């Protein structure tokens, strides 16, 4: 990898389409890039259609000068807006002829983070979450942060980062990411582990006269489990992050939504222990993307 490619690999990529959601996403991405001291790439996708060619591979229609000019105007406006807030930030712009998901996935190959708005200009107002943000979160090779349109400008004084853990590989990636974000922004990390009573080997045991569920013991056991996970994932850079662990007997999505109401970010794995292998996003990550009032980081 060349030196220039290595530098670009640390860049943060954000999708821009002129919508309020993409403006919020660009602000969040710029704030993150400033904290990481890396570059920011603003990407506009033209969504040029493919043309079938007999006995050949499909060809993508070239953009007209007017289409390119409109895209460059949107990027220039976003570039100017971000520079007003972060004058020292290095910013690049890119017009892609690809569809938005493909353009962002391609850009993600040479970046450390992809940021998208939860719903852009192409989404119907009745949809809770735009298809682009879902598909980017499902397929990007890097962490993806989805920013709601009404989140407001990114806070300069972070209080709390929330992360859900269940011991799965994806949740450990989310824990590392959340620790890093908390360290960079001087925030507390709230680690949430939700558990539900295990199914007994013999369902008839529930009806037995002497059967009781020792919730105190199960909660303590789960807390010890989470504490070990946190200790294992700390690094030199994150060793001093203050951590609060909440172990709760409830559905995971509800526990995380309750915890993140006063946070600046919530992080989650794309699919935890309860997911089917064929599902790209689990029910917990989908619930957060649809309902969380703060930016959601999805780690695959």
- Contacts within 8 Å (CB) and 24+ apart, 32-35: 32/113, 32/115, 32/145, 33/86, 33/89, 34/86, 34/88, 34/89, 35/184, 35/185
Verify that 191 and 257 share a domain, yes or no: yes
Verify that 62 and 109 share a domain, yes or no: yes
Question: Token match 């200790």: residue?
Answer: 231
* Average pLDDT, rounded, for the chain: 85
pLDDT digit string, tens, across residues 41-88:
999 999 888 877 777 778 888 889 999 999 999 999 999 999 999 999
Beta strands in 39-187 (DSSP E): 40-45, 50-51, 59-60, 91-96, 113-117, 144-147, 160-164
The domain that contains 168 carries what CATH number?
Answer: 3.40.50.620
Q: In the prediction, which pLDDT does 124 show?
A: 33
Verify that 183 and 285 share a domain, yes or no: yes
Among 93, 118, 147, which residue terminates a domain? 147
Verify that 15 and 143 share a domain, yes or no: yes
User: Which of 89-98, 100-109, 182-191, 264-273 has the least mean pLDDT?
Assistant: 264-273
Verify that 192 and 293 share a domain, yes or no: yes
Verify that 12 and 142 share a domain, yes or no: yes
What is the percent of the chain where pLDDT is above 70?
83
Query: At a CB cut-off of 8 Å and minimum separation 6, what does 57 contact?
Result: none
Q: Establish if 152 belongs to a structural domain.
A: no
Q: What is the mean pLDDT of residues 210-225?
A: 81
Q: In the prediction, which pLDDT does 127 show?
A: 33
Q: In the prediction, which pLDDT does 186 show?
A: 95
Verify that 131 and 236 share a domain, yes or no: no
How many domains is the chain built from? 2
Q: Establish if 154 belongs to a structural domain.
A: no
Q: Establish if 153 belongs to a structural domain.
A: no
The CA distance from 157 to 185, in Å, is 7
**In the predicted model, is pLDDT for residue 130 greater than 80?**
no
Among 120, 147, 174, which residue terminates a domain? 147
Residue 13 and residue 107 in contact, taking contact as beta carbons nearer than 8 Å: yes
The CA distance from 240 to 236, in Å, is 8
Q: 126 pLDDT band (50/70/90 cuts)?
A: very low
Q: Establish if 288 belongs to a structural domain.
A: yes
Among 147, 169, 191, which residue terminates a domain? 147
Verify that 186 and 219 share a domain, yes or no: yes
The 10 Å CB-count burial string (b at 16+, else e) for 76-111 is eebbeebeeeeeebebebbbbbbbbbbbbbebbebb
- Terminal CA-CA length for the chain: 24
Question: Token match 């993150």: residue?
Answer: 32
Beta strands in 73-136 (DSSP E): 91-96, 113-117
pLDDT digit string, tens, across residues 5-52:
555 668 999 999 998 889 999 999 999 999 899 999 999 999 888 877
Q: In the prediction, which pLDDT does 196 show?
A: 75
Q: Establish if 238 belongs to a structural domain.
A: yes
Range of the domain at 90: 3-147
Q: In the prediction, which pLDDT does 149 show?
A: 77
């Amino acid at each position: 990898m060349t030196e220039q490619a290595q530098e670009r690999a640390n860049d943060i990529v954000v999708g821009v389409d002129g919508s309020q959601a993409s403006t919020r996403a660009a602000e969040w991405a710029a704030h993150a890039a400033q904290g990481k001291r890396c570059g920011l790439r603003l990407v506009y996708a033209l969504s040029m259609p493919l043309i079938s060619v007999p006995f050949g591979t499909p060809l993508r229609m070239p953009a007209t000068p007017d289409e390119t000019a409109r895209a460059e105007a949107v990027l220039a406006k976003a570039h100017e807006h971000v520079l007003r807030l972060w004058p020292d930030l290095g910013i690049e712009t890119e017009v892609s002829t690809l569809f938005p998901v493909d353009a962002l996935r391609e850009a993600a190959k040479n970046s450390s983070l992809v940021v998208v708005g939860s719903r852009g200009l192409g989404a119907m107002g009745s949809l809770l979450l735009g298809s682009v943000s879902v598909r980017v979160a499902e397929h990007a090779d890097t962490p993806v942060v989805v920013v709601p349109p009404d989140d407001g400008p990114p806070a300069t004084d972070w209080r709390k980062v929330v992360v859900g853990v269940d011991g799965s590989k994806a949740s450990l990636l989310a824990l590392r990411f959340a620790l890093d974000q908390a360290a960079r922004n001087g925030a507390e990390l709230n680690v949430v582990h939700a558990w539900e009573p295990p199914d007994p080997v013999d369902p008839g045991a529930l009806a037995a006269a002497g059967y009781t569920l020792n919730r105190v013991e199960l909660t303590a056991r789960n807390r010890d489990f989470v504490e070990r996970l946190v200790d294992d994932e700390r690094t030199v850079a994150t060793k001093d992050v203050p951590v609060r662990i909440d172990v709760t007997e409830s559905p995971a999505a509800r526990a995380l939504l309750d915890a993140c109401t006063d946070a600046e970010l919530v992080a989650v794995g794309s699919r935890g222990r309860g997911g089917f292998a064929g599902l790209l996003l689990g029910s917990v990550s989908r619930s957060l993307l649809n309902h969380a009032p703060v930016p959601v980081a999805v780690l695959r």
